[in-house]
Amino acid sequence: NAGVTQTPKFRILKIGQSMTLQCTQDMNHNYMYWYRQDPGMGLKLIYYSVGAGITDKGEVPNGYNVSRSTTEDFPLRLELAAPSQTSVYFCASSPRAGLAGGPSYNEQFFGPGTRLTVL
Amino acid sequence: GDSVTQMEGPVTLSEEAFLTINCTYTATGYPSLFWYVQYPGEGLQLLLKATKADDKGSNKGFEATYRKETTSFHLEKGSVQVSDSAVYFCALAYSGAGSYQLTFGKGTKLSVIP
């Protein structure tokens, strides 16, 4: 299993350009997430998805869009890049909850990240 | 809302020193608690977890105990190695029928020198 893969690893954009960050997981996980990590800060959730066709906003969704047409893929779209979007972006996935009455905890599996610079 | 507070870094230790990274949380319910580790140039990976009060999570020589009375989940290791140099994140999440969103602390960078 490759786990969670992200492309590209690095990208430099000009203000106003658009791009899509790709994320794919091969673990058949239901849940997928996009985070951004700014220097010296923890991760902030941008969007998440609980299954194909279902997405929802996280803490910092402005300036981003997502879609989830398949279980495996969860691309993140930046329509009009701004310097404030300079960050490292991580995609993650996690399996559905355990059975009723059993342990139920969240281990998220992270991709290696995409370093994006907007100039 | 829920939040996680970690001790400020960076932390620099000599090899074989004792490590403690403090983590406290504020939560409305009874979350599960996690420590994630991020090695240079990589994504985060789960280090250990605890799902209820008084549980102790452990992995790779690291330990943390879920203390409900002090709302803490401090990370400890008795003897650190150079290979432990990384950024450590404390996090919480609620389990249930809904989503599994993690709330992260800001991270603590650890550097271990030979």
pLDDT tens sequence across A58-115: 989 999 999 999 999 999 999 999 999 999 999 999 887 654 434 455 678 899 999 9
Check CB contact of A64 with chain B, cutoff 8 Å.
no
What tokens appear for B105 in the block? 């602390």
- Reply yes or no: is the peptide bond before residue A8 cis, omega within 30 of 0: yes
pLDDT at B47 over 60: yes
- Residues in contact with A89: Cβ distance below 8 Å, sequence separation at least 6, in sequence order: A6, A21, A34, A35, A36, A37, A46, A76, A113, A114, A116
* Mean predicted confidence (pLDDT) in B1-5: 87
Is residue A83 within 8 Å of residue A15, measured between CB atoms? yes
| pLDDT the model gives residue B93 | 84
Q: What is the pLDDT of residues A35-68, one digit of tens each?
A: 999 987 888 999 999 889 999 999 899 999 999 9
Distances (CA, A) of A101 to A97, B11, B40, B95: 11, 40, 38, 12
Question: A97 to chain B, minimum CA–CA distance in Å?
Answer: 7
Check CB contact of A108 with chain B, cutoff 8 Å.
yes
| 8 Å CB contact of B49 and A94 | no
Q: Which SS3 state, helix, strand or coil, does residue A84 take?
A: helix
Residues B114 and B14: their CA atoms lie apart, in Å, by 6
Chain A residues with CB under 8 Å of B96 CB are 97, 104
Q: Please tell me the least confidently modeled range out of A27-31, A97-101, B55-59.
A: A97-101
Residues A104 and B88: their CA atoms lie apart, in Å, by 23
